[in-house]
Amino acid sequence: MENKKKRVRFMLKSITVLTLMATLASSIAPAAVSASEIINKEIVGETQTKNYESDEQESQGVTSESIHSEIVEEETEKKEIEESSLTDTDSSNSMESGQKILEEKPAVDEVNDAMKSSAEPFKADGSDSVTKSDYVHYDAVVITVNQPVFSEPGYTVGAKKTGETTTYLNQLVVISQEKVTAKGIWAQISINNKMIGWVAKNTLKVNLDKIIEQKMVHYDAVITQSRHDVYTLPGYTEGNVRITKSATYFNQKVKLLQTIKTNRATWVQFSINGVTIGWMNIIGIDIKYDSFKDVKKVYYDATVEQGRHDVYTLPGYTKGNEITTKSSTYLNQTVQITEEKVSDRATWVLITQNGKMIGWMNKKGVKVVAYNNTVIESRLVHYEATVSRNDQLIFSAPGYTKESKAIANTKDYYKRSTKILEEKVTKRATWALISVDNKTIGWVDKAHLTVQYDNIKSTKAVHYDALVNQGRHDVYTTPGYTEGNEIITKSSSYLNEKARIVNIVETSRATWAQFSIDGKIIGWMNVIGLSIQYDKIISSNKVNIIAKVVEGRHDIYTIPGYTKNNELLTKSETYLNKDVTILEEKETDRATWALITQNGRTIGWMNKKGLAILNGDLVDKVTESRIIHNDAVISKKNQLIYSAPGFTVGAKEIGNTSSYLNKKVQINQEKETNRATWAQISINGKNIGWVNKSTLTLKYDTIQITKGVHFDAVVSQGRHDIYTVPGYTKGNEIIAKSSNYLNKKVLVLKTVKTNRATWAQISVNGKVVGWMNIIGLSIQYDKILDTKKVHYEAVVVQDNHDVYSKPGYTENSQRLTKSLAYLNKKGIVTQIVKTNRATWAEISVDGKPPIWMNINGLKMKYDKITSTKTTNYNAKVVEGKHDIYTMPGYTDGNVIVGKSGSYLNKNIKVIQEKQTSRATWALISMNGKTIGWMNKKGVDSISIYLDPGHGGDEPGAISGFVKEKVLNLKVALKVEKLLKEKGYEVIMSRRTDEFVSLSDRAQEANKMKVDIFVSVHHNAFMKTAYGIETYSYNGLGNPKNIMSNNSKRLLTSTVLSNAIHKKIISNTGAYDRNNRKANYHVIRETTMPAVLLELGYMDNTNERAKLVTDNYQNKLAKGVVEGIVNYFN
């Protein structure tokens, strides 16, 4: 204690000097903002994370709060001395700076003289009375001399003068109480824990603590120290009043509402049960921060629906949280949720708005905005772009859509080059799927990218034939990587197909070709994926022929069409019906090309078919003829109709297409000349004549369904045409009449359904004939003679078999492919079908839908039986998904005869087991009838828990030197033996004289998941009762397990009780005391049907004499077993 006094005296001397310096300095310093002003006006400075441990260390020096503690234990005082030593260095440094201020201070006498002149002489006459009294805590310095010190406030009753302020001039004092009278404010002061007395407050210079930082917070805490004062405002700040001691709330749970850091300490405002109590030093509190169970990045929109929640800098009640506002600020506004954190208290969401961080709030206050199915447009594209916006989210799917999750941030790719692979448009934005270094990153708002389109350097209209010879290229709507491009498909869709190039575009990246197939524009692809097939010039002649342009459909080129470097200039319709001069002709495999001029100006090269020679007697020749069937509409007027193909020998003008414009006609025949393709047309069976085919719009039948099949058939009608392709479809040509094959057997290879008819492709003796209407055939499907469901493994070993959707050549069978596609692959055979033609196997390969093929193409892989065991135990089918076989599954000769679901939860007997590499197979029977083999996983043996009552140091009833525990065990062992002989699994609670608790018996049975529980007991009562009674649970107890009062369990327990009781009575002839209900532990706390047997009264002399005999015990055991068997049956 002596050390403490020395240290306190040293510190007080230092404090006196420092306080005087501070008093003088304050006269020239700006006024500090008072605590009440800050708190009332909610002035909150910039917040920063606080280290409460360091604050606590700083605030545990000798303060006026510790000096004025009313009761401080010896150990606390020692601790404070040790802690106060931490500030010695700081105090010495402060004294040095304080000395400098003292040198500049005006004379103290001048200050005191001024104070004396204003002091009123003291009259201890009791003329004044106290009107207000407060306990406070302030530091102050005595600055006035010759003023009285009183035992009570001056002028009040009992006030006595005890000294003068001169004695304490310039010393640091602590004001612990203030009282207001009509004459002024009086302060009770002390020095070093020693009470001095009461002085007029204007004799003191009060040193208020300054507020450095304030935070609105939310924490749970417990008050762990009782020595602290509780204030109306933070201690030592202006306006503080001491309310009570923290001991009042010692060990109570509180909620922290605010923290304020002053130059002295950190103070917390706390409440209990929603009532604000006051402020105390934070070192007296143990803060209970919430922790997180789950943290995840998210991204979705939400609406703030509740305005009552606080918004924090961190999730509420976690370390470092600070309240920034109320959710009402954003009520009914849409915000974005970017993160979720789950604590024991709540799920907290981090909300932002328009890219600005708001803070954390309780998720209960927001409602998720549903953005399901908002993608309104999708397109595959190819662009290069640079990530131009920093700190934007990247999603797993287009932002705000159903499956969208935040997976990355653009800051990781800022200013990096990316490729856009796909675009999706929502109501909110256009989203781009980006990749970097060929690695897909995710979806970003396209507005966050700067797109760099390729520039087009040159464009040419051309005509080339080409072959698509690379399948790896994308096909676009515009040249790749140019603005507006969209990926349509892959070039593999057209691999090895013949195409026509119609435009060439060169960009900084590549040369792109626009191509068509069968006259339909497909799109643009890189020209390196095409093998261009230029036409070659066979011959060339200089001529000078006058001609007329008579067809406007031809292209005019810089050089002959389809030759290398040709470029399209215009269409021949520009010069339709105008005279031109042919100066040169060039012949290619495709056509004869004419170089035409007009008035000495070269026009270009065009197909000579579009010209009529005016200065020569040239006749066109028919080069090819074909009989066809097509519908068409006459779509051009003012075109001539001829009696034969135009410009051929004998052709005469017989009409004009204007007479038949837009009418439907039938094309019966086509003929090719060097000029055009001519079509012979008719209307309603009446021949009209020959027209240029270009004047017609053909109406081909559309193919709706195509099937590869295999059927036998006989041609039964001779009136049908046979075509090269299905009749009336594009490219059809009549090649024969069905009468050529009348009554002959054919094989149907394919069927095609069009809007007009169903067509069959037929072959005879392995040679394809053509297509005819299926109504002219008599189909002869193979018949199914036998079907077996099986399970075998097999390998496809032959490549020449057809693969079908159903057994080959049967009705509705469709030919899918060749067995070559499955060669050497392993599959599971699930059906075998025998027809008059072959045996067919249904096989599933790689888990895909099953196919059918000839069994000759398969090699079976039967499972081998490795062991066989004869068994005889009772069981129950517990899984309904298994097949039941004639032999163990997957072995040779197995046939599926049923499903285990037909026997689900039914009692069966397992009479044999066989082991294969795949499984253990059980041969099951029911009621003596063999059912078949199934996987043993689907059965569970019937298990019975036998409980011989009592045991060990719990003998049960005792009578005539006979102990119940002994009889219970003897009968139970006999029951066990008989049950095992009948194939039941038996678990015994005890097999010897040992103690087993009631709860252990019930819990073991529950854990073993047995089927029934049977407890064996004997009775005793007044020596006169006799007979047998059987108990099941009455449902009136207070069970610990949820199955105890299950209605099904209660019912089946009653059924079991009736079955056993009936058989015991019939086997023993004992007096029937009926089935009963009771609240015994073992039949209450078990989860399965449970009974307790009372097999007789031991204290009845006559009954005891029977109970101890082996013969009677055998009868009891036999009755119990027969009752159990009947129950399971």
Positions of CATH 2.30.30.170 in the chain: 2-103+209-287, 110-207, 289-368, 377-452, 457-533, 536-616, 703-780, 784-861, 865-924
| pLDDT value at residue 621 | 85
CATH architecture of 536-616: Roll (2.30)
CA distance 1121 to 17: 102
CA distance 531 to 847: 39
CATH 2.30.30.170 fits 703-780, yes or no: yes
Mean pLDDT of 498-525: 95
CATH number for region 943-1128: 3.40.630.40
| pLDDT value at residue 774 | 96
Residue 759 forms beta bridges with which residues? 752, 773
Name 388's Cβ contacts closer than 8 Å, sequence gap at least 6.
415, 448, 449, 450
Task: Pick one of 2.30.30.170, 3.40.50.1000, 2.60.40.420, 3.40.50.300 as the CATH number of 110-207.
Answer: 2.30.30.170
Nearest to 470 by CA among 426, 424, 531: 531
Mean pLDDT of the chain: 87
Strands 449-452 and 520-526 come out as: unpaired
Q: What is the pLDDT of residues 971-1021, one digit of tens each?
A: 999 999 999 999 999 999 999 999 999 999 999 999 999 999 999 999 999
Inform me whether the pLDDT recorded for 725 exceeds 90. Answer: yes
Q: What percentage of the chain reaches a pLDDT higher than 70?
A: 88
Q: What is the pLDDT of residues 446-464, one digit of tens each?
A: 999 999 999 999 999 999 9
Residue 93: band (very low, low, confident or very high) from pLDDT cuts 50, 70, 90: very low
| pLDDT value at residue 615 | 62
At the topology level, CATH places domain 865-924 in SH3 type barrels. (2.30.30)
Q: Which CATH class is domain 784-861?
A: mainly beta
Residues present in the chain in total: 1129
Mean pLDDT of 148-154: 92
Residue 1110 forms beta bridges with which residues? none
Inform me whether the pLDDT recorded for 69 exceeds 50. Answer: no
1094 catalytic per annotation: yes
Q: State both tokens at 225.
A: 């120290």
Q: What is the pLDDT of residues 651-669, one digit of tens each?
A: 888 999 999 999 999 999 9
* Coil, helix or strand at residue 795: strand
Mean pLDDT of 1064-1086: 96
Mean pLDDT of 1070-1094: 96
Name 243's Cβ contacts closer than 8 Å, sequence gap at least 6.
135, 230, 231, 232, 277, 278
Inform me whether the pLDDT recorded for 1080 exceeds 70. Answer: yes
Would you tell me the crossing angle of helices 2-26 and 74-84 to the nearest 10 degrees? 50
Inform me whether the pLDDT recorded for 427 exceeds 90. Answer: no
CA distance 934 to 885: 6
| pLDDT value at residue 371 | 62
Inform me whether the pLDDT recorded for 1097 exceeds 50. Answer: yes
Amino acid at 297: K
Inform me whether the pLDDT recorded for 293 exceeds 50. Answer: yes
Q: Which CATH class is domain 2-103+209-287?
A: mainly beta
Is-contact 372 388, C-beta < 8 A? no
Mean pLDDT of 98-110: 35
Pick the more confident residue, 974 or 336: 974
Mean pLDDT of 275-281: 95
Q: State both tokens at 750.
A: 């394919």
Is-contact 15 172, C-beta < 8 A? yes
| pLDDT value at residue 123 | 52
Inform me whether the pLDDT recorded for 442 exceeds 90. Answer: yes
| pLDDT value at residue 1082 | 96
Mean pLDDT of 306-325: 93
Is-contact 615 546, C-beta < 8 A? yes
CA dihedral 99, 101, 102, 108 (to 10 degrees): -160
Q: What is the pLDDT of residues 193-248, one digit of tens each?
A: 899 999 999 999 999 999 999 999 999 999 999 999 999 999 999 888 999 999 99
Q: State both tokens at 979.
A: 């049950």
The answer to whether the predicted template modeling score (pTM) of the entire model surpasses 0.75 is no
* Coil, helix or strand at residue 740: helix
Residue 73: band (very low, low, confident or very high) from pLDDT cuts 50, 70, 90: very low
Nearest to 452 by CA among 381, 502, 501: 381
DSSP H or E stretch at residue 1002: helix 998-1008
Name 642's Cβ contacts closer than 8 Å, sequence gap at least 6.
651, 652, 653, 654, 678, 689, 690, 691
Q: What is the pLDDT of residues 913-923, one digit of tens each?
A: 999 999 999 99
| pLDDT value at residue 835 | 95
Mean pLDDT of 549-553: 93
Task: Pick one of 3.40.366.10, 2.40.10.220, 1.20.1050.10, 2.30.30.170 as the CATH number of 457-533.
Answer: 2.30.30.170
Range ranked top by mean pLDDT from 75-84, 299-308, 589-598: 589-598
Inform me whether the pLDDT recorded for 372 exceeds 70. Answer: no
Name 485's Cβ contacts closer than 8 Å, sequence gap at least 6.
381, 382, 383, 476, 477, 478, 479, 524
Mean pLDDT of 521-540: 94
Q: State both tokens at 855.
A: 């069994």
CATH 2.10.77.10 fits 377-452, yes or no: no
Amino acid at 489: T
| Catalytic site residue from 178, 985, 1094, 1122 | 1094
Q: What is the pLDDT of residues 819-840, one digit of tens each?
A: 999 999 999 999 999 999 999 9
Inform me whether the pLDDT recorded for 966 exceeds 90. Answer: yes
Residue 619: band (very low, low, confident or very high) from pLDDT cuts 50, 70, 90: low
| pLDDT value at residue 53 | 31
HEC string of 457-524 equals EEEEEEEEEEEECCCCCEEECCCCCCCCCCEEEEHHHHCCCEEEEEEEEEECCCEEEEEEECCEEEEE
CA distance 73 to 479: 90
CATH 2.30.30.170 fits 289-368, yes or no: yes
Q: What is the pLDDT of residues 883-941, one digit of tens each?
A: 999 999 999 989 999 999 999 989 999 999 999 999 999 999 999 999 999 999 999 99
| pLDDT value at residue 41 | 35
At residue 1127, what are phi and psi to the nearest 5 degrees? -60, -50
